[in-house]
A and B are shown apart, each in its own frame.
Chain A
Amino acid sequence: MAVEAVVMGTVPVVTAEHVSKWYGQVIGLNDVSVSVPPGVTGLLGPNGAGKSTFMKLITGQLRPSKGDVKVLGEPIWRNPHLYFQIGFCPEQDAFYDRMTGLEWVRALVRLNGLTEKEADEAARRALAAVDLMEAAGKKIGAYSKGMRQRVKMAQALVHDPQLLILDEPLAGMDPIGRRKTIRLIRDWGRAGKSIIVSSHILHEIESMTSNILLINNGRILAEGDVHQIRDLIDEHPHTVYVRAEDPRRVARQFLDDTTDDVRSLRFEPGAVVVETGRPDAFYARLTDMAASGEFGAIDEVTSPDDNLQAVFQYLVK
């Protein structure tokens, strides 16, 4: 009944009431009360802010030390039936490496009660949705970081859940993979699915949704429109780590361009670290560079969370 109401869009997909979570003496989440509406919601916060704890509580992996967590209108802890409606893509890069992508996704969706044939069809659909069908027969151990992220997404959406919970789904992806994944998430949102996606990079979240939850030090600092937060972050330089086949060539292009979005750069082994004052323009340019293929392979793009930490310090002053 509650799940139907959520599907109709009348009930929040997640509600937390005075939820706290302690790990011994360490507090992971501190008296959080929040309602997540249907649609795409971004959970934004630096590492250690409590994002993962929140994600684990709303996926029923942890039990709140205090308070109540309800997902799709029902308590999630020890309620496995709810997982028919929930798909979870965890942050950790962990797999059964000896299995192929297809075998793995198929085996997992079998746990949802599908027959062998149904599971095979569903797994193929999910892998096609994340653009991984070509590598479906390869062992996961041989996948690149971006492919591993995508196969994790595939196992999350393979049973066509109503609510997708994605923990840092873009971490370590190459620019093209990021763009595709962002587009996928937006499409799913438009198709009526509810998605909670975490990240420590504001620009990632902003490209998927304008509805955010801002979390820091185990507390929800703000919820609502991302654009107000964005104005603040633009005042702070944003650091991007780009791992590439030829970092010097990539760096040269960054400096040659007239967009004036790079403030400084430095080299690390196999990578260039860029400080930008205009992250949107920079990310767009980086994606175009990767797509053109003229600058060698751009393997990984990550952003340390110290950018966001600076904004949070600013916000909580």
Chain B
Amino acid sequence: MRVFDLSVSEMLWSRRTIFMALVVGAPVLIALFLRMLDAFGAPVFRVNNAMMAGPAIFGLMIWVFYLRFTVPVLGVFYGTSLIADEVEDKTITYLFTRPIPKGAVLMGKYFAYLACTLFVVLPSVVIVYLSIVPMRGNLGASFLDLLKDLGLLAIGLAVYGAVFAFIGARFKRPLLVGLIFIFGWEQAALAFPGYLKKFTVAYYLQAMVPHAMPNDSVVSLIQGVFRESPSLVESLVWLAAILFVFLCAAAASVERKEYILEQ
């Protein structure tokens, strides 16, 4: 908890915050822009001569901006840097020469990551919801979906964060490995029929989305064809297991590792 206290403000004011602001700010700006166009009567999202309703656009944005991009990207950028940033800044010495296990340092920093990202991502989703859903939709009717979306994104940030915390603790070039994992391995595994997709986080996460999956690219079209969804309970159990295993593995890895700071 004390490492959490120490880390949370450092994390919020780190270089990565600008990146995070851009990542979560983009959908908010797009939502506000769409709302403005709609207010001026512009034909936004007209499909087969029918205007798309706000809840459908919101669902699309959750898939495209948050689930496929924001959550894994924030996970990879923050998760892999939990310890790496302290090593790079050479401040890790101060934490590792205090009477707390190194694994606890990682845990404290992980929870600081989670607090920071939730603090920024969830309000952004709420703003998008409030901007988009009233366009030919009803805020009250979609409220349950919003809650599901918020829960889903929180779980996504937690699980991706744990996976990338492990990658950050274990690999020499964790950012590269992390980017390959989300944009290479996960995309490819989801596009093929068979059991490979079970070795991704996205497989379980996407199964819980309350909105229809968009077919906005060739890859997502193929993924849609071969899509099979585990049950909600199965997804939650697997995501909890992934979170637990990777977080413990990350803590164990940090515990055993020597950090040699460049002079």
| A305 CB → nearest B CB, Å | 13
Indicate the member of B93, B97, B102 with the most A CB atoms within 10 Å. Answer: B97
A112 in contact with B97 given A94-B90, A96-B10, A107-B5 (CB within 8 Å): no
- The 8 Å CB contact of A111, one of B95, B259, B263, is B95
A61 and B93 within 8 A (CB): yes
Task: Determine which of B5, B97, B258 lies in contact with A110 in the assembled complex, contact meaning CB atoms within 8 Å.
Answer: B5
Contact, CB under 8 Å: B10 / A111: no
Residues of B within 8 A of A110 (CB): 2, 5-6
Residue-wise interface mask of A (75-87) relative to B, using a CB-CB cutoff of 8 A (1 in contact, 0 not): 0001011111010
Q: Is B261's CB within 8 Å of the partner chain A?
A: yes
How many B residues, CB 8 Å from partner? 27
Residues A108 and B260 in contact, CB atoms below 8 Å apart: no
- With A61-B258, A92-B261, A94-B91 known to touch, is A107 a contact of B100 (CB < 8 Å)? no
Instruction: Tell me if A111 and B261 are in contact (CB < 8 A).
Output: no
Q: Are B99 and A84 in contact (CB under 8 A)?
A: yes
Point out the residues of chain A lying under 8 angstroms from B94, CB to CB.
Answer: 90, 108, 155
Verify A59–B97 contact, CB threshold 8 A. Answer: yes
A63–B259 Cα distance when bound, in Å, is 10
Does residue B101 face the partner (Cβ distance < 8 Å to A)?
yes
Contacting pair B10 A88 (CB below 8 A): no
Asked whether B40 is an interface residue with its Cβ less than 8 Å from the other chain, the reply is no
Q: Identify which of residues 44-80 in chain A touch chain B, using a CB-to-CB cut-off of 8 Å.
A: 52, 59-63, 78, 80
The reply to whether the CB of B195 lies closer than 8 angstroms to some CB of chain A is no
Q: How many angstroms from the CA of A241 to the CA of B199 in the assembled complex?
A: 60
CA distance A81 to B255 in the complex (A): 14
Please give the distance in Å from A63's CB to the nearest CB on chain B: 6
Task: Report Cα–Cα, A112/B100, bound state, in Å.
Answer: 8
- Known pairs A23-B260, A92-B261; A108 contacts B93 (CB<8 A): no
Query: Which residue on chain B has the smallest CB distance to residue A59?
Result: B97
B98 in contact (CB, < 8 A) = yes
> Closest CB-CB distance, A204 to chain B, in whole Å?
19
Residue in A62, A78, A84, A90 whose Cβ sees the most chain B Cβ within 10 Å: A90
Within 8 A of B (CB), among A102-129: 107-108, 110-113
Could you tell me the distance between the alpha carbons of A61 and B255 in the complex, rounded to whole angstroms? 11
- Contact call B91/A95, Cβ cutoff below 8 A: yes
In contact, B5 and A88 (Cβ under 8 angstroms): no
Whether A98 is near chain B, meaning CB under 8 Å from some CB there, is: yes
Q: What CA separation (Å) do A52 and B6 show in the bound complex?
A: 27
User: Chain B: which residue is nearest A81 at the CB level?
Assistant: B99
B64-90 vs A, Cβ < 8 Å mask (1 yes, 0 no) = 000000000000000000000000011
Task: Give 3 closest A-B pairs by Cβ, nearest first.
Answer: A94-B90, A111-B98, A83-B99
